[in-house]
Structure 1
């Protein structure tokens, strides 16, 4: 057995006691039978994976918060920019996941392998180009976002490392997406666990200069993250090339196919727009937040990191709905896909509503975990308490957007995001921040846009998402030798 095989077997044994909770795709059918159980088993590892993914950010936030307030404010500018860069290319991973899911649902293994192989090749190439462009524009973009003179050099140092490591960071997201499309959410979870563990160990050594390492500050946090992601990508690629767990990729099928690239982009571009809409909203909100002192920027950074943890169930279930929808559309079961989306929306509304109550009650101790600056804590408490009552609405919007993506209607999901962020959140945030509410007006904008987003997604879904889904021709997304363009019209 190879070193990789022994590593996977060792990690699997260590997780053996959780076998009753985590089940692989061979143990449930996404296209037949009960909905709740397969959605739960599909989503639970995604929650853990996303929690581990968020741990990267939280670990950096914690250690840099101990390092200096300026460093904490710097990652407040750095993280949204990372999100923006990744969002530009994330559409390809979404498209690849949808293609794989629909072909697997239609029992088209060869088409699924080709789609996965092409997605990996095109995504890594795109990430390399994006990283090089981003490296050259980092300082200017951060300056436009309003970073102060004390914060700008720190944020620039962080982002220069991150942009150069973009292929490693984005490549692992592609691995997660393709395995999810197949129905395997456990393997990415295990690989992510090892990567986060490595990052936990490296962070304080590189930030503070413990032992033989030099004190690198915020740049050390970036190096730890990139190195950890690079190792995770190597493991992920090895798993996919072996093909014994989840999706199988082949080197001979990775030569860029321009005709397939067009099909991939036709699905993925709207998904990139959706991600960019979210990222641009966060970045433009930073411009508004930057009108206030660095203590407000630091509190905003903490708040958005906390939200990224709280929203994990909604994000995970939405990804599960995306996979279930894709496989059921491929198998010709649109009614089952619709039932999965409705069930997910109800469930996440209740779960996130309960988490909102917890966040409201525990706002002060939650914020105090990341900083001992009393001013930052006070502002962070107001952020959490203003937004917490709207958490349930995030679950509704995410669930239905996941269903839109699973049918290939990525344009619909993108339109909803652009409306709630561009026409609701940003205008309200700017307008109210200019009143006596000051920064509290920005917090109110979060709550208002969450409620509007849920109403819009639900209404759009009810207007007839399934009317124009033609399952008689097989998967909505094209496969090998198939010239049918995926429909994104609504």
Structure 2
């Protein structure tokens, strides 16, 4: 996960060296690129679930067919989404608040990124297939290799080297696409030749429809919940854009720092659900409750430590990413001093979402995401911005996370209590 997040962070660092306008342009792209990544995450969750279930029942042929179907479905969906968004680039980014002088820079980056998005999507689905078959090492090594390639190509293509011309912000997109493309070739080789985890013959259309329904039944609610985040970020970006280009640049850096600072939460959100699902299936409700309580407590303590560390390093981080513009540096520091204070609360919300999915209640998770982003987080941030400026926006976001975390924790506890009582009644009747 660290390596996956490094793509955006490395791009942001090198693009920041080009100046404030390129940094602002790349900051505007984050909600849009994360929309496609959210679709990949949701499809990966659905893929992993159906492939693992087939493996668990001993049906290897079904598992291989499901894996191939998942890759084909993902290819079709990402192409469709990329084409639509490519043709709506000006409309989307104008709505986000991007000025006309930034549009050429945004096109330089996004036109290439859209073309290469399929090279990002398919390796993520391939990694889900590997994990569903018990292999977590290969995906990590693959992401590490592609991340290293991206980091090497970034400065070469952005600033030029020898016969390679300086391509600026477009070079960052090309570096990412090339690294993803190499990753795609490797993952296809591993799945088809080395491990033989996908069907060798093309699945029939009727079978593809069946597989697609199975994946989307699980993956769409998960993708929908994930896609709400970039939508909310798009709204916040539009609000921040009213404060100027430097504010957008600083906010973009802060958003990428948030991805790294929340890695512990994101990692636990992947490991807690299998534990809960296993004990849910065994009716070990005490273990489910204990795991949830201890994990949320750990996250609060851990994120507090991370917040304090970020505060100490705020000046260093601001200088590294915005040293050519004092205003950008100020916004970065302002972000770090306020927003990470709510990451522990945000962690409770994320873990509650994952736990609802583990209890086979994906709609609960989706509703909680809607409540968090559009009842509390965005409205509180908007009100804070309206009355107190940029600092009010950041503080409003923290307050929104506080209210949602309280609701999420109580909702999950009540759900567990209801499930325990229902099982007691069933046990007494039997």
How do residues 134-173 of structure 1 correspond to structure 2 at under 5 angstroms?
134-173=85-124
Is the counterpart of residue 200 in structure 1 residue 151 in structure 2?
yes
Is the counterpart of residue 93 in structure 1 residue 44 in structure 2?
yes
Is the counterpart of residue 248 in structure 1 residue 193 in structure 2?
no
SS at match of 2:389: coil
**Structure 1: distance between partners of 2:255 and 2:234:** 12
Check the 8 A contact 1:105/1:328 in 2, yes or no: no
**CA-CA distance at 1:193 after TM superposition:** 0.8
**Structure 2: distance between partners of 1:302 and 1:354:** 21
Pick from 301, 316, 328 the counterpart of residue 365 of structure 1. Answer: 316
Pick from 155, 180, 183 the counterpart of residue 131 of structure 2. Answer: 180
**Structure 2: distance between partners of 1:467 and 1:213:** 64
What are the superposed Cα offsets for residues 87-116 of structure 1, whole Å, 9 maximum, x if unpaired? 245422221122334445555545444433
Is the counterpart of residue 217 in structure 1 residue 143 in structure 2?
no
Paired residues in the alignment total 417
**Structure 2: distance between partners of 1:467 and 1:251:** 46
Pick from 48, 57, 79 the counterpart of residue 128 of structure 1. Answer: 79
**CA-CA distance at 1:273 after TM superposition:** 1.2
Pick from 185, 190, 215 the counterpart of residue 234 of structure 1. Answer: 185
Alignment-derived partner of residue 421 in structure 1: 373
What are the superposed Cα offsets for residues 141-193 of structure 1, whole Å, 9 maximum, x if unpaired? 11111101222221122111111111111112212333334443221110011
RMSD over aligned Cα atoms: 2.4
Alignment-derived partner of residue 43 in structure 1: none
Alignment-derived partner of residue 398 in structure 1: 350
Check the 8 A contact 1:205/1:213 in 2, yes or no: yes
Evaluate the alpha carbon distance shift between residue 425 and residue 112 of structure 1 in structure 2; reply closer, same or farther with a 3 A threshold.
same
Pick from 21, 25, 28 the counterpart of residue 74 of structure 1. Answer: 25
Evaluate the alpha carbon distance shift between residue 433 and residue 235 of structure 1 in structure 2; reply closer, same or farther with a 3 A threshold.
same
**CA-CA distance at 1:333 after TM superposition:** 5.9
How do residues 87-486 of structure 1 correspond to structure 2 at under 5 angstroms?
87-104=38-55, 109-242=60-193, 244=195, 248-252=197-201, 254-256=203-205, 257-326=208-277, 332=282, 335=285, 339-372=290-323, 373-435=325-387, 437-465=388-416
Alignment-derived partner of residue 46 in structure 1: none
**CA-CA distance at 1:467 after TM superposition:** 5.9
Alignment-derived partner of residue 7 in structure 1: none
Check the 8 A contact 1:345/1:396 in 2, yes or no: yes
Alignment-derived partner of residue 31 in structure 1: none
Evaluate the alpha carbon distance shift between residue 184 and residue 71 of structure 1 in structure 2; reply closer, same or farther with a 3 A threshold.
same
**CA-CA distance at 1:377 after TM superposition:** 1.0
Unaligned runs of 5+ in 2: 424-430
**Structure 2: distance between partners of 1:131 and 1:334:** 44
Q: TM-score if structure 1 supplies the norm length?
A: 0.79
Q: TM-score if structure 2 supplies the norm length?
A: 0.90
Check the 8 A contact 1:93/1:123 in 2, yes or no: no
**CA-CA distance at 1:286 after TM superposition:** 0.7
Alignment-derived partner of residue 484 in structure 1: none
SS at match of 2:230: helix
Evaluate the alpha carbon distance shift between residue 160 and residue 308 of structure 1 in structure 2; reply closer, same or farther with a 3 A threshold.
same
**Structure 2: distance between partners of 1:268 and 1:195:** 25
Evaluate the alpha carbon distance shift between residue 337 and residue 112 of structure 1 in structure 2; reply closer, same or farther with a 3 A threshold.
farther
**CA-CA distance at 1:457 after TM superposition:** 2.3
Check the 8 A contact 2:50/2:214 in 1, yes or no: no
**CA-CA distance at 1:225 after TM superposition:** 0.5
What are the superposed Cα offsets for residues 340-387 of structure 1, whole Å, 9 maximum, x if unpaired? 444432322222221112112322212222120221111211111112
Check the 8 A contact 1:98/1:406 in 2, yes or no: no
What are the superposed Cα offsets for residues 30-77 of structure 1, whole Å, 9 maximum, x if unpaired? xxxxxxxxxxxxxxxxxxxx1111111111111111012110000100
SS at match of 1:206: helix
Alignment-derived partner of residue 475 in structure 1: none
How do residues 3-14 of structure 1 correspond to structure 2 at under 5 angstroms?
none
Deviating more after overlay: 253-262 vs 310-319: 253-262
